[in-house]
């Protein structure tokens, strides 16, 4: 049969990985795809860099957009990255040229995904993006196809391996954030500029994509509440352990009568939850279907091999003739859902205060919580040091984010309270 001709834009780790995978398993892929899958054209910044892959005989484009117009390219693989610029220009050009787009670009999909879907439909092509979320775990396929018979009420997960690695090592080795981060950078688990990972933006991109698919909704990326892990301290991790939790950076998308809520933040996950024990660089996604029940997927969320595996799975789908709407349904059928503001969130909270160990402090704090209708499940104090700073931990029953925010603003003004209180939301059991 006629081979599927692939053009790849971006020959970094993932791009080179895709080329290596296609070469290493050419026969297996041809058997599964029903025809050979071959790279015919590439684009990258530097033609002469050694990437461990052969570029002889391939059409070369200094400008990636050239791939869209190459008649020797059936499908364009965009591995440039970023929501704007070259990546977006290539995506638009490929679609306009009637070519299906395979991409690992979570930022592009999270920010421009609906507009791109509309363009893709108009041109009778699709966009495949398994590699954009959770690397080697086929989570897009599971959600868009496997769970297609379900109303999905919740998608939650550990979506950033860098953060999960850092939190895991901090817990296991009792080390500081900065120290573990430096290690992670040396090991290649964290980028030289790790902001997108550590500040939760990468997880938020992935969450927005999962939410769009799960709920069949138009997601405005700017409506995702985002917090990262930089302020998680060793003391919080130790308290979590003591209380039966693990601290994880979670992305959580929920759909209720009130609307859709989207948030990325550190959370206390009860040890009984399967997601609590997913450690190291692993990712996990939990999706709740009304008929299927909870489905959890766990695997490697990044790296050359896993990401290449996802890109090539999309290519095999395309070669097999699988064509699923970008967001699992027609763009015109996507809902405009109300977004529930963070202030309306219902949750239990872990609050940690650093206070001067003197009589009356606790009475002042608990009085403020009571005034805001917040009741406590437990309270922990570590150590005694009259006149000095001691940590106090308060675990609340379920209450609203608005009440907790207002209470903490007042608590922060008490003279005996030395630092801004730490707040970590607690996942239900």
Q: Do residues 377 and 397 lie in contact, with contact meaning Cβ atoms separated by under 8 Å?
A: yes
CB of 8 to a copy of itself, least distance (A): 15
d(CA 362, CA 223): 36
Q: Residue 417: which residues within 8 A CB-CB, separation 6 or more?
A: 353, 354, 355, 361, 365, 411
CB count within 10 Å of CB 234 equals 13
Asked if residue 89 binds a copy of itself (CB under 8 A), the reply is no
Among 157, 161, 306, 421, binds a copy of itself (CB under 8 A): 306
Asked if residue 248 binds a copy of itself (CB under 8 A), the reply is no
Asked if residue 32 binds a copy of itself (CB under 8 A), the reply is yes
CB of 76 to a copy of itself, least distance (A): 18
d(CA 336, CA 242): 43
Closer to a copy of itself at the Cβ: 148 or 379? 148
CB of 411 to a copy of itself, least distance (A): 38
Asked if residue 308 binds a copy of itself (CB under 8 A), the reply is yes
Look at residues 297, 296, 282 and name the one whose alpha carbon lies nearest to residue 163. 282
Tell me: is residue 15 an annotated ligand-binding position: yes
Phi, psi of 34, deg, nearest 5: 85, 0
Asked if residue 53 binds a copy of itself (CB under 8 A), the reply is no
Q: Which stretch binds a copy of itself (CB under 8 A): 44-52, 98-106, 300-308, 350-358?
A: 300-308
Count the alpha carbons within 13 Å of 134 in the hemisphere toward its beta carbon.
26
Q: Which two tokens stand for residue 204?
A: 């938020």
In order of 268, 369, 415, the CA distances from 395 in angstroms are 11, 11, 22
Indicate if 255 belongs to the active site. Answer: no
DSSP state of 340: P
Closer to a copy of itself at the Cβ: 105 or 309? 309
Q: Do residues 150 and 292 lie in contact, with contact meaning Cβ atoms separated by under 8 Å?
A: yes
Q: Give the contact letters, 151-180, x = binds to a copy of itself (CB under 8 A), - = no.
A: x-----------------------------
Tell me: is residue 412 an annotated ligand-binding position: no
Tell me: is residue 360 an annotated ligand-binding position: no
Closer to a copy of itself at the Cβ: 78 or 236? 78
CB of 211 to a copy of itself, least distance (A): 16
Among residues 86, 88, 99, 206, the one annotated as catalytic is: 206
E strand map for 143-222: 152-158
Closer to a copy of itself at the Cβ: 210 or 226? 210
CB of 406 to a copy of itself, least distance (A): 39
Tell me: is residue 191 an annotated ligand-binding position: yes
Asked if residue 300 binds a copy of itself (CB under 8 A), the reply is yes
Q: Residue 123: which residues within 8 A CB-CB, separation 6 or more?
A: 95, 96, 98
Q: Residue 374: which residues within 8 A CB-CB, separation 6 or more?
A: 396, 397, 399, 403, 404, 407
Q: Residue 132: which residues within 8 A CB-CB, separation 6 or more?
A: 103, 104, 105, 106, 109, 140, 205, 206, 209
Asked if residue 52 binds a copy of itself (CB under 8 A), the reply is no
Q: Give the contact letters, 272-291, x = binds to a copy of itself (CB under 8 A), - = no.
A: --x--xx----------xxx
Closer to a copy of itself at the Cβ: 122 or 330? 330
Footprint on this chain of a copy of itself (rule: CB under 8 A)? 17, 21, 25, 28-29, 31-34, 130, 135-138, 141-142, 145-151, 216, 274, 277-278, 289-300, 303, 305-306, 308-310, 312-313, 315-317, 320-325, 328-330, 333
Q: Which residue numbers belong to the known binding site for NADPH?
A: 106
Q: Which residue numbers belong to the known binding site?
A: 9-16, 106, 191
């Amino acid at each position: 049969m006629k081979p599927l001709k692939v053009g790849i834009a971006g020959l970094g780790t993932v791009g080179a990985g895709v080329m290596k995978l296609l070469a290493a398993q050419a026969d297996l892929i041809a058997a599964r795809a029903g025809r050979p899958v071959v790279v015919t054209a590439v684009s990258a910044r530097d033609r002469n860099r050694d990437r461990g892959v052969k570029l002889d005989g391939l059409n070369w484009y200094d400008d990636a957009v050239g791939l869209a117009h190459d008649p020797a390219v059936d499908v364009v693989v965009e591995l440039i990255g970023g929501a704007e610029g070259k990546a977006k220009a290539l995506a638009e050009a490929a679609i306009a040229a009637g070519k299906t787009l395979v991409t690992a670009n979570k930022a592009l999909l999270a920010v421009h995904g609906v507009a791109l879907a509309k363009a893709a439909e108009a041109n009778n092509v699709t966009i495949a993006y398994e590699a954009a979320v959770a690397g080697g775990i086929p989570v897009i396929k599971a959600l868009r196809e496997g769970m297609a018979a379900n109303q999905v009420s919740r998608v939650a997960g550990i979506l950033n391996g860098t953060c999960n690695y850092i939190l895991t090592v901090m817990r296991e080795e009792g080390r500081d954030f900065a120290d573990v981060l430096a290690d992670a950078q040396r090991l290649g688990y964290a980028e030289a500029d790790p902001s997108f990972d550590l500040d939760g933006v990468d997880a938020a991109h992935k969450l927005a994509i999962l939410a769009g698919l799960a709920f069949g909704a138009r997601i405005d990326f700017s409506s995702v509440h985002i917090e990262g892990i930089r302020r998680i301290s060793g003391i919080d991790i130790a308290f979590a352990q003591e209380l039966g939790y693990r601290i994880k950076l979670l992305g959580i998308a929920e759909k209720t009568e009130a609307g859709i809520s989207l948030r990325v933040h550190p959370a206390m996950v009860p040890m009984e939850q399967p997601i609590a024990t997913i450690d190291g660089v692993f990712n996990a996604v939990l999706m709740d279907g009304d008929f299927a029940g909870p489905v959890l997927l766990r695997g490697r969320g990044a790296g050359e091999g896993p990401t290449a595996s996802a890109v090539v799975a999309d290519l095999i789908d395309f070669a097999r003739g699988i064509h699923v709407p970008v967001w699992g349904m027609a763009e015109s059928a996507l809902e405009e859902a109300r977004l529930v503001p963070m202030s309306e969130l219902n949750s239990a909270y872990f609050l940690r205060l650093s206070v001067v160990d003197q009589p009356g402090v606790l009475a002042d704090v608990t009085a403020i919580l009571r005034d805001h209708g917040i009741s406590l499940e437990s309270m922990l104090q570590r150590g005694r040091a009259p006149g000095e700073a001691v940590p106090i931990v308060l675990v609340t029953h379920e209450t609203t984010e608005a009440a907790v925010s207002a209470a903490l603003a007042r608590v922060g003004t008490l003279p005996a309270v030395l630092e801004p209180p730490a707040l970590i939301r607690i996942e239900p059991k």
